[in-house]
Amino acid sequence: MTRTNDTIPPPIAVNFHLYKPCNYRCRFCFATYRDIDGHLSLADAAALLRALREAGAEKLNFAGGEPTLHPQIGELVAEAKRLGFVTTLITNGARLDPLLDDHAHEIDWVGISVDSGDEQVQAELGRGRGGHVERSRRHAARVHTLGIGLKLNTVVTALNWREEMHALVRELRPARWKVFQVLAIDGQNDGQVEPLLIDRERFDAFVARHKNLHAEGLGPVAEDNDAMTDSYAMIDPLGRFYGNHGGRYVYSQPILQVGVAAALAQVQFQVQRLVNRGGLYQWRR
């Protein structure tokens, strides 16, 4: 369904999946982009950032793949900050340290992906071959020292839904802990994700087990499969908005060709669904 441009509010928060390559092979990953080759040039990516800002976007999440592997991630973070965006990096930490060395002052938030406190579980899920949790501890400590906001992202699957993560969450002290129900996307993670899928009841059990952390300001912000659908303004490595429709991604025309409003009209992003899942919060630091 395509809507007329005048009915579409600006994409206040945008997830820019700017780069396909990743150093991990997470079995549940819904951003593998098997159907995409290449990525925008630095000049086009910068032009896209300007177009988004002019359209009213306030917060920009750099994601992937693994965004720290992008050869010009530093330049893009700097340009986003110059334009006035609240900048966020969603990362497994692959090359986070060099980026922080040069651009910490231009990064408002770092989101670190940790699904379990057990290194073996992380390895079974495809997050490296061991040592991911320990590296994440080190990265979290540095992020705190630099005064950058820390987010923690956890995907709940058949391997970790019974886990208690209280100790790890208290140690990492994220300002925001996002907890997602594992999501199947045809063409992205099919053939890998099926043994990891869980029903809503098991996801809710994981969330309920950790609700007592709310009293410490560390409680989970939970998103089941329904909450994730049409609630994210997502851009692929080729500079197109996309959304999950019928369990498969649907892409807009390139934003730089048709404009932000026209491209967004070609997917079913809904600002109210973003609000309903708690996607608007005090993100300026």
Could you tell me the sign of the dihedral formed by the alpha carbons of 196, 200, 203, 209, in that order? negative
What burial class does residue 35 get, using C-beta atoms within 10 Å of its C-beta: 0-12 exposed, 13-18 middle, 19+ buried? exposed
* Catalytic site positions: 22, 26, 29
Quick one: which H or E segment has residue 243?
Answer: strand 240-245
**239: alpha, beta or left? (left if phi > 0; alpha if psi -120 to 50):** left
Distance CA 222, CA 41 (A): 35
The tens-digit pLDDT sequence of the chain (285 residues) is: 334 344 556 778 899 999 999 999 999 999 999 989 999 999 999 999 999 999 999 999 999 999 999 999 999 999 999 999 999 999 999 999 999 999 999 999 999 999 999 999 999 999 988 899 999 999 999 999 999 999 999 999 999 999 999 999 999 999 999 999 999 999 999 999 999 999 999 999 999 999 999 999 999 999 888 766 666 789 999 999 998 887 889 999 999 999 999 999 898 776 666 666 666 667 776
Break the chain into its structural domains and give their ranges.
11-276
Distances in Å between the alpha carbon of 192 and those of 15, 131, 207?
Answer: 24, 22, 24
pTM of the model: 0.91
Residue 146 identity = L
Distance CA 15, CA 11 (A): 10
Quick one: which H or E segment has residue 96?
Answer: helix 96-103
What radius of gyration, in Å, describes the C-alpha atoms of the chain? 18
Q: How many other CB atoms sit within 10 Å of the CB of residue 104?
A: 16
Q: What is the CATH number of domain 11-276?
A: 3.20.20.70
Which pair of tokens denotes residue 254?
A: 């390139």
